[in-house]
Amino acid sequence: MFCHLMSRGPIVAAMLVGASLLFSIPSSLSAQVATVQITRTPQGSAVPSDFVGISIENSIGQTYFGTISAPNTVFLQLLKNLGSSGSLRIGGDTGDTSCWSGQAAPDPSICAYQLTSADFSSWAMASAQTGWPMLIGVSLAQAESTGAPQYIVNEITQGLVPVLQQHPKAKLLGIELGNEINLYYLNPAFRPSTYSVANQVSDLQSYVSALKSNATTKGMTLTVPAYYDPSVNSIEQGVDVIVQDLTKCAKCVASNVGLVTLHEYPLTLNKGQVPTIAQLLSNTIDTNTEQVFTQAVSDATAKFGLSVQLDESGSVSVDPGQPGVSNVQAAVLWELDFALDMARIGMRRANFHIHDGSYYIPIQVNSTGAGSYQVEVMPTYYSLYGFGAAKGQQFLPVTTTTSANIRAYALSTCSTCPITVYLINKDLTASGSVQISLSAPATNATYFEIAAPSLSSTVQNITYGGVQFSNSTGQLTGPVQTQTIQPDVNGNYTVTLDNAAAGILTIQP
């Protein structure tokens, strides 16, 4: 997350939509706001079962995951709800400003947090209990000082690895070298203002060489460059150059880099400007992010045979995000749309960030110590949970006709299999009926919404099929309430899509 210069602090049936309606409004009485045409021919690869994960600052692992003697069972349950596969990216800003306690850091002045075996144990415990592998960030900020590469090798081999050996069910996905290194030039404590792509390559090469020369770390997947908010230009002139130099150079081997990592927060808190719901839900955001990350995925695949992981993301930066935008129903709709869009263009995984106290986070945890945890499910957790229906399925060609800001996705596993349709209403005011037609007929369907009274509704008024997540158990408070939808004489399905809602329609073959 960008804050090197400052502290960081899934409708009810139509009957319960928006938590304020007490009766069903027949679809035939609703003005039509969109038509969606679906071709029942799956395209591309299936959405990975581990697509959705979380990212978390390493300094707060013990608060969120808990400790070996007192695990945070509610938080871990909330992660398990998202699937038996996922990933834990542990790093962020504090990945650069945390130092391993087992050895004096080359530059102690940037050490804001001391990592101990208790931190590593907390992470390993969370990985073992969820089955989610860890992508762990290490400090590239130390690379300005003599001995930094070996210090990082020692942190991994003498600090992290012994703990992993004590937790055989814990899994390591890889080691991320630095965090948002394209912003180092903004922080005089990290690098001078002249810090260039060539300098980044040099620093990364020193770490890669040291890690590849060690018997314990040489087989570990390394990831770069954790660029913040990339543009097409910075993909072509930064990311591609770095990966090229670390995989294709004369002294390099193909396994130097096994994954490309990038970060994205589409709205930035520029000085004097306040991001709005309208900006977050705008088509401009969709167009820009699609263009950049399509380029990133295309380049990594075609040039290097690598995948891209969006290993840190949220709605609004800089921390703590924007109240009334990052922590309301609008962010739920943005995040579900964003995750589906990133999966559609071929992103390998997406991790949504937790920085303690920030408004965009999916789960908030406060601890009073001694294993006492107060867990609060936040709005965007509902979008991550809603994404679960997409896992293991391929996208179907969809044509959406609408004058409103409504996005539609359809997925299935074969041309005669059940179909999952997402209808995401990102319009500020529009609501009404949506007609869904298929290229080949199917049978009955069920429908529910992730709903709220308005785009600015807070988590207390957000429902997933009419129910919510309990902060005390991490489970839904009851079964999801669905509405049965039958196709008309022409084989079309019509649902009522409320404003400030995302509908999930499941069509049986």
313 and 171 inside one domain: yes
Determine the Cα–Cα distance for residues 282 and 337; give it in Å rounded to an integer. Answer: 12
Give the torsion through C-alpha atoms of 101, 102, 106, 109, to 10 deg.
10
CB burial string 361-393: b at 16+ within 10 A, e below? bbbbbebeeeeebebebbbbbbbbbbbebbbeb
- We report the CATH number of the domain holding residue 171 as 3.20.20.80
State how far the Cα of 204 lies from the Cα of 191, in Å rounded to an integer. Answer: 14
For residue 225, cis peptide bond before it (omega within 30 degrees of 0): yes
Residue 483 forms part of a structural domain:
yes
Who contacts 89 (Cβ-Cβ below 8 Å, separation ≥6)?
Answer: 53, 54, 55, 56, 134, 135, 137, 176, 311, 312, 351
Q: Are residues 62 and 184 in the same domain?
A: yes
Same domain, 134 and 229: yes
User: Does one domain contain both 400 and 471?
Assistant: yes
Backbone angles phi, psi at 241, to 5 degrees: -65, -45
What's the total number of domains in the chain? 2
Q: Are residue 464 and residue 351 in the same domain, yes or no?
A: no
Both 118 and 263 in one domain: the answer is yes
Q: Are 301 and 405 within one domain? A: no
Q: Are 502 and 333 in contact (CB under 8 A)?
A: yes
Residues 308 and 209 in one domain: yes
The per-residue pLDDT for 12 is 32
Which of 330, 356, 382 delimits the end of a domain? 356
Residue 404 lies in a domain: yes
The residue segments making up the domain with residue 478 are 14-44+393-507
Phi, psi of 149 (to 5 degrees): -60, -45
Confidence (pLDDT) at 255: 65
The enclosing domain of 441 has a CATH number of: 2.60.40.1180
Give a yes or no: residue 105 inside a domain.
Answer: yes
In a domain, 376, yes or no: no
In 302-362, which ranges are E strands? Answer: 308-313, 316-317, 349-354
What tens-digit pLDDT sequence spans the chain (509 residues)? 544 443 333 333 333 333 333 333 444 457 999 999 999 999 999 999 999 999 999 999 999 999 999 999 999 999 999 999 999 999 999 999 999 999 999 999 999 999 999 999 999 999 999 999 999 999 999 999 999 999 999 999 999 999 999 999 999 999 999 999 999 999 999 999 999 999 999 999 999 999 999 999 999 999 999 999 999 999 999 999 999 999 877 666 656 799 999 999 999 877 778 999 999 999 999 999 999 999 999 999 999 999 999 999 999 998 899 999 999 999 999 999 999 999 999 999 999 999 999 999 999 999 877 789 999 999 999 999 999 999 999 999 999 999 999 999 999 999 999 999 999 999 999 999 999 999 999 999 999 999 999 999 999 999 999 999 999 999 999 999 999 999 999 999 999 999 999 999 999 99
CA–chain centroid gap for 274, Å, is 23
Amino acid at 222: L
State residue 234's pLDDT score: 97
Strands 398-401 and 32-38: antiparallel
What pLDDT does 86 receive?
97
* 79 and 127 Cβ atoms separated by less than 8 Å: no
What gap in Å lies between CA 207 and CA 140, rounded to an integer?
8
Q: How many CA atoms lie within 13 A of 81 on its CB side?
A: 23
DSSP 84-128: S---EEEESHHHHHEEETTS--SSGGG--EEE-HHHHHHHHHHHH
Q: Is residue 253 part of a domain?
A: yes
Distances (CA, A) of 380 to 136, 153, 360, 447: 23, 36, 7, 21
Query: Is there a single domain that holds both residue 262 and residue 139?
Result: yes
Shared domain check, 191 and 86: yes
Residue 363 lies in a domain: no
Tell me the whole-structure pTM to 2 decimals.
0.93
What is the CA angle 159-122-335, rounded to 5? 115
One domain for residues 56 and 39: no
Residue that is last in its domain, among 329, 356, 383:
356
pLDDT of residue 77: 98
Does residue 371 belong to any structural domain of this protein? Answer: no
Do the domain assignments include residue 255? yes
Phi, psi torsion values for 319, nearest 5 degrees: -55, 140
145 and 28 share a domain?
no
Cα gap 321→325, rounded to integer Å: 8
